[in-house]
Each structure stands twice: as structure tokens, then as C-alpha cells.
Chain A
Amino acid sequence: MEGDIALGMKYIGAGLACFGMIGAAIGVGNIFGNFLDGALRNPSAAPQQTGNLFVGAAFAEALGLFAFLVALLLLFAV
């Protein structure tokens, strides 16, 4: 009985961890949206900034992936 509750809680926790993706989605959306905003205003300066664009997106996305990792840890490691 107690084990069942713990198992259920584990799945609920893994599901809750998925909320972390909201933040990552907002962050990545912000980065690409602002990049397009700036790139359309000054297209000639855009190509030099694609490196920064992907680094920024990678940083934002990594934090969403940590949420995914927490979910995986809950499901398989705890």
C-alpha cells in the first residue's frame, strides 16, 4: 500500500517536472523572436550574430533539458 502511494507520487513528480519545459519554451521563443526582430531591422548585421543566437538558444534549452533529466531520474533512478 505504502509502496503504491510512493510509486504514484513518483509518476506525479515526473509529470510535474515537465512544467520546466514551459520556461525553456518561453526562453527559446524569446531568443529567436528577438533575433528575427533585430534581423529584419538590420539584415546586414544578422549573419554575424547567428553564432550568438545558437549559443543563447542552447543555454535556454539546456535548462529545459534539466527538467527532463529530473523526470528521468524520478522514473528510473529513485
Chain B
Amino acid sequence: MNYFFGGAAADDPISQFKIKSLLDIDIGGLQLDFTNSTFWMIVGVLLIITFFTMAANRKALVPGRLQSLGELSYTFIADMIRGISGEEGLKFFPLVFTLFFFVLFANMIGMLPFAFTTTSHIAVTATLALMVIFIVIGYGFYKNGFGFLKLFVPSGVPLALIPAIFLIEVISFLARPLTLSLRLFANMLAGHIALKLFAGFAVMLIGSGGVVFIPVAALSFLTGTALNGLEFLVSAVQAFVFAILTVIYLNDALHPSH
């Protein structure tokens, strides 16, 4: 079982992030293994599809519990997009909706014991962030042509300052995919290391046999439990932050002049 699920049996706090191959696939020297990360990503996607299929299944005029939850999540994302970039931004609704729920489910599945947190790997979050930034650049040039470059030159800047401002704005634009991916990755990584540290410390103290250590072990265990609650909050907030920053960046492509 441990082979299949995350590294719950291992002792040090880092080994829970280890990627294990479940099925070796090799296509022309290209390593495309089916890993535990792939497995839990597929579980997340299937859960999302099941949830929304069931929520949209009945289409009752007076929604039931599941249907209201589905409608709530729909209006939540739609209102967020409308608030930032207006009705025009709603064409990106499917993208933002998918990103939000993919990240949310990946984070939440990571909170289950024995499960693997796919978003705790920079490869996964960087892929998502790069996808967002390439869509911003591509759509920005497609919609505005070279007017998209106005994004890097704020209006009302003195002519002499434009080269310097342009450089700063370009660098800050290029840092966006970096911070977008690092934020999610580092949050999940740090949170899960902290959970494992506090739980592992309690086990270690009790294992050392000293009766005096039992209150300390209990304290460590309680702190770990409290951190678990905090980590649930962080999981939801980080998914929200990822989605809202995506909308803010897409808004730059829609309305480049600021």
C-alpha cells in the first residue's frame, strides 16, 4: 500500500514529496512514467467532474444541497471576474474556473492522510503559471497588437524616464510566473513539512521512553492538530489567490493601458 500512496511510513519530513513511478512508460527514450503524482492528479480531476456532473444533473428550479453548492461556486468565480475586469473578462471564465478547482482539489486531496500533494511540486505549479502567462502574452498581442506594449509604459510618465520605467515594468512582468508558481509550491511544501515535523516530534518523544516528555509530546501533537486546521485554510486561500491573480494578469491583456 505504501508503494501506491505517499511516503507516510518514512520518517523525515521531506520524503513525503518523493515521486514514485507506478508504471514505467518509455516512448523513444522519453520517460513518461505513470507516477503517484499523476495518479492523484487524475483522482482530483475525476472528483471535480463527478461533483459538477452530479450538481448539474437535476437542474431543479429549487436547488438541492449539491446543486446550490455547484451554483455557488459558479457565481463565486463569475463575480470575482466581473469585479476585476468587467463583463468582457467572462470569456476567460472556463480557464479561471478550471484552474481554481484543479488547484483547490489538488490542495485538499493533499490534506488526506496517505495522499500525495501534487501542488507541492514546482514542476506542476510552474506549468500552470507558465500556461497563464503565455495566454496573457498571446491574447494581449492578439487583441491589442503592439498596443499591448503600453502595459510597460504607464501613462503620464516624463519622456526621460520612459526607458527606465519600461525596463522595470518588463522585469516585474517577467517575475510574475516565477512568483505565481513559487507562492503555491512553497506554501504547500512548507505547510506539509510543518505538519510532519510536529507529528513526527511527538512520536519521537514518546518513542524515546521518558515519561517526562509526554506533556511535551502532547503539546506538539496539539500544535500539529491546530496546524492541520490552518493548512485547510491555506489550501483554500492559495487556490483563491492563484485564481484571482490569474484574473488580474488576464485583465492586463484585456486592458493594457493603466
Contacts and interface: CB of A to CB of B under 8 A. Distances in A.
A45 interface: no
Contacts of A62: 179, 182-183, 186
Nearest to A76: B14
B15 to A, nearest CB: 12
Contact of A54 (B83, B189, B237): B237
A65 B241 contact: no
Interface in A40-69: 48, 51, 54-55, 57-58, 61-62, 65-66, 68-69
Contact of B186 (A51, A54, A65, A76): A65
Given A51-B80, A51-B83, A55-B248, A66 B182 contact: yes
A66 B181 CA distance: 12
A24 B182 CA distance: 15
Interface residues of B, number: 18
Contacts of A65: 182-183, 186-187, 190
B179 to A, nearest CB: 6
Interface string B131-173: 0000000000000000000000000000000000000000000
Contact of B190 (A54, A58, A68, A76): A68
A72 B190 CA distance: 10
A55 B245 contact: yes
A14 B241 CA distance: 28
A69 B182 CA distance: 9
Interface in B57-94: 80, 83-84
B182 A54 contact: no
Contacts of A68: 186, 190
Interface in B164-208: 179, 182-183, 186-187, 189-190
Interface of B: 14, 80, 83-84, 179, 182-183, 186-187, 189-190, 237-238, 240-241, 244-245, 248
Given A68-B190, A72-B189, 20 more contacts: A48-B83, A51-B84, A54-B240, A54-B241, A54-B244, A55-B241, A55-B244, A55-B248, A57-B237, A62-B179, A62-B182, A62-B183, A62-B186, A65-B183, A65-B186, A65-B187, A65-B190, A66-B182, A68-B186, A69-B182
6 contacts: A54-B241, A55-B248, A62-B179, A65-B187, A68-B186, A72-B189
Closest 4 CB pairs of A and B: A65-B186, A58-B241, A62-B183, A62-B179
